[in-house]
Structure 1
Amino acid sequence: ATALYGVPTMFIAMLDQLRRAEFDLSGLRTGIMAGATCPIEVMRRVIGEMHMSEVQIAYGMTETSPVSLQTGPADELELRVSTVGRTQPHLESKIIDEAGNVLPRGAIGELCTRGYSVMLGYWNNPESTRESIDPAGWMHTGDLATMDEQGYVRIAGRNKDMIIRGGENIYPRELEEFFFTHPVVADVQVVGVPCTRYGEEIVAWIKFHPGRSADELELQSWCKERIAHFKTPRYFKFVEEFPMTVTGKIQKFRMREISTEELREHLGKG
């Protein structure tokens, strides 16, 4: 095998496979990681430990057939691990604000895409079609992103996943990338849950590397030494796996529901 394709959770599972050292992966060269935001540290490990020096990240939606942006094998390493690449040929991308205005390069807003790959519409659902595709043919992805001067796009996370705690905007992807630098954290997902005092509180679902662990106080102390206090999760949930679809995509809405129910008493007190 020379190529390997999958979503990030699949690559994380392979990297932590206890018998991985028994297998010869030297034939691997390339592949695609897509289907969800790809953690930078995971990309670095895939390149370094699985020999996939030409692995690429692709971004898209089922509604866009599916890839709209992609990195290239000749892109510098930093661009391949930190962006989803540039717009595919014959397609268009833009970043807009809440009023629909195109934002300057580097500003964060909603990513929209247009072109031959965009679907005609949802089957027998004109209302949802109108909500997703505007009269000019732009597909509104619901993802927050930035675009640099060279056209490389960085995904900040889903618009609906953004956490507003005490008036501060917190992007889960930023926190997830941060937690991936902790030596015991194999995988992490960050969600917001309702809170009467601050509007929302941060919950970090943590999956440890085999044989490694940490408690809530250790992780909070580690955060407070390195990031702004308002970004430090109030709650942690240690799990063996995350709620996922059959294709391996994380179901953050289920995580929010589960955390809200489990923390109901605490969140009511603020």
Structure 2
Amino acid sequence: MTAQLAPEDFTTIPALCEWTAQTYGHDTAIEDGEVTLSFVEFDALRRRIARAFIASGIEKGDKVMIWAPNSWKWFATAMGLVSAGGVLVPCSTRFRGAEVGELILRSKATMMMSTGNFLDRYYPGMLSAEQRAPLRDLVVFDDAAEGETGWETFLKRADTVDEAALDTRTASIGPDDLCDTLFTSGTTGYPKGVMYAHRQCLRAIDAWATRVGIRRGDRILVIPPFFHAFGYRSGAIVSLMRGAVMMPHLTFDPAEILERVARDKISVIPGPPAIFHGMLQNPDLAKFDTSSLRLGLTGGSVVPATLIRRMRSELGFAGVCNGYGLTECGGYGTMCFADDTAEVIANTAGKPMPDTEIRIRSPEGAFLPDGAPGEIVIRGYLTMKGYFENPEATAKTIDADGWLSTGDIGYFDSDGNLRIEDRVKDLFITGGFNCYPAEIERFLSAHDAVGQIAVIGVPDDRLGEVGKAFVVLRPGAHITEAELIAWSRENIANFKVPRSVVFLDALPTSAQGKVVKDELRKLAGIA
């Protein structure tokens, strides 16, 4: 029987961790390569890391960045950090030095926990001295270079802080204190930190887990990165909460995922549609034993009904769920039920989560009846506390009555399911990752050959959408499409890199001088 928290138990993440150790005991909590941890062992590690953070000078409310791929160390560090009263700031492993440096400044992080060598790069080495200057400490999980603080050195700091001091610190953490700040670029192209608190985080995850049916003993392969709300909350924390085995996965490779399903008897896979497309496209699919698969959890992109059917018939998922959410609501909003029909799962985002109000509003501010499209607005406990140090943006997003504007267009059908018609005009989603053209344009404009640039999203069979850049070169400058794409890969996260580039003499503009992206969509053949 899956243990569920009662409403009065929704207090803080450290309280959850202690509860899971008492409830699930010596059941396996994490399997990651050669490392296996029970819930009791994980809780002891979580407490040791929390004491190490206190010994490192972390005070309640201090921001700490984690820049690393999925692993037991990432998750244990996050739980230890918030148990010490710190605020987690996840950072994408796809980011390069300039992007991370900007995030350090905007988040006011004072400490970083980083991977060492990953994807043929030494991550701390991507940061210049100037970019590292705001950090008073940088700890490297593995393969620390000379002069860097290593993982074991960090853990030994815990010996200087006793358990009573940790208990005192943990007792000072309230349900409405911040637990994390996830940065989302938004349509301005500049990162905005979404502030989220302990109790709302736990309530949202519990409601989602109940809706989709996560069970004690499930074996969850967490492919979405922990730096994303989907991976962190709907993969890692939900495993802890429900007594499931959390199995971190580093990179997306369909054959490797199928091998892990067969070898490790995976029962649940959360992730964007691209993951399941990749598994189904593998020519050796029939050779893998996928009989352990029970539940596929997806969203963040268009989900064709054909994919839902194939996930059930060819991969063997008994249940498939699709949903809609945004970082400003913890990654949640609506969700289908696992036993909904393929047509409902493919064509709708399901029904609102419990204790969540979702309405459709006209441009004039009037609420619209079912069937009428308009902007989706959300109100309830799961809406963010606001954007970090950005009251202007917060006021534009959440009105005086508490309604959060999503910028997405949709309507409710006669069965009460939300149907999404459009997203924020320019935003596109590549393999489950939000891509904001303004941010991509800002970074690519730094190239000496680029005079003017505009980016749009275009359909892609595998990733849903990918970027297409339209570039006006500076006078006398020369660069090829391949060269600009290669430069982009060196300077920004891979999912943001445009997959194609078109060179124009001029970009189409309105009378006000604004680039008319609808004209670019016509040029791309998608208008």
What are structure 1's unaligned runs of at least 5 residues?
A: 163-171, 174-191, 193-201, 209-242
TM-score normalised by the chain length of structure 1: 0.62
What are structure 2's unaligned runs of at least 5 residues?
A: 1-265, 430-436, 438-455, 463-488, 509-518
3-state SS of 2:410 partner: strand
Distance 1:118 1:66 in 2: 10
Question: Alpha-carbon deviation of 1:8?
Answer: 1.5
Distance 2:378 2:412 in 1: 13
Amino acid at match of 1:264: L
Deviation per CA, 1:202-253: give whole Å up to 9, x if none.
Answer: 9844447xxxxxxxxxxxxxxxxxxxxxxxxxxxxxxxxxx9x97x9x65xx
Distance 1:41 1:140 in 2: 32
3-state SS of 2:409 partner: strand
Aligned to 1:264: 504
Aligned to 1:87: 352
Aligned to 1:134: 399
Distance 2:287 2:295 in 1: 21
Identity over aligned pairs, percent:
33
Distance 1:21 1:267 in 2: 49
Aligned to 2:276: 11
Distance 1:140 1:38 in 2: 24
Aligned to 2:292: 27
More helix by share: 2
Instruction: Determine which structure has greater relative contact order: mean sequence separation of CA pairs < 8 Å that are 6+ residues apart, divided by chain length.
Output: 1
Question: Alpha-carbon deviation of 1:263?
Answer: 5.0
CA contact (8 A) 2:312 2:320 kept: yes
Tell me: CA distance 1:153–1:205, structure 2 relative to 1, closer, same or farther (3 Å). closer
Q: 1:65 aligns with which of 327, 330, 333?
A: 330
Structure of larger gyration radius: 2
Matches within 5 A, 1:208-227: none
Matches within 5 A, 1:126-165: 126-161=391-426
TM-score normalised by the chain length of structure 2: 0.33
Amino acid at match of 2:407: G
Please say if 1:45 is aligned against 2:45: no
Distance 1:61 1:41 in 2: 25
CA contact (8 A) 1:95 1:109 kept: yes
Matches within 5 A, 1:114-133: 114-133=379-398
Deviates more, 1:131-140 or 1:29-38: 29-38
* Corresponding pairs, count: 197
Tell me: CA distance 1:50–1:266, structure 2 relative to 1, closer, same or farther (3 Å). farther
RMSD between superposed Cα atoms in Å: 3.6
3-state SS of 1:159 partner: coil
CA contact (8 A) 1:110 1:159 kept: no
Distance 2:310 2:361 in 1: 33
Distance 1:142 1:82 in 2: 19
Matches within 5 A, 1:229-244: none
Tell me: CA distance 1:205–1:115, structure 2 relative to 1, closer, same or farther (3 Å). closer
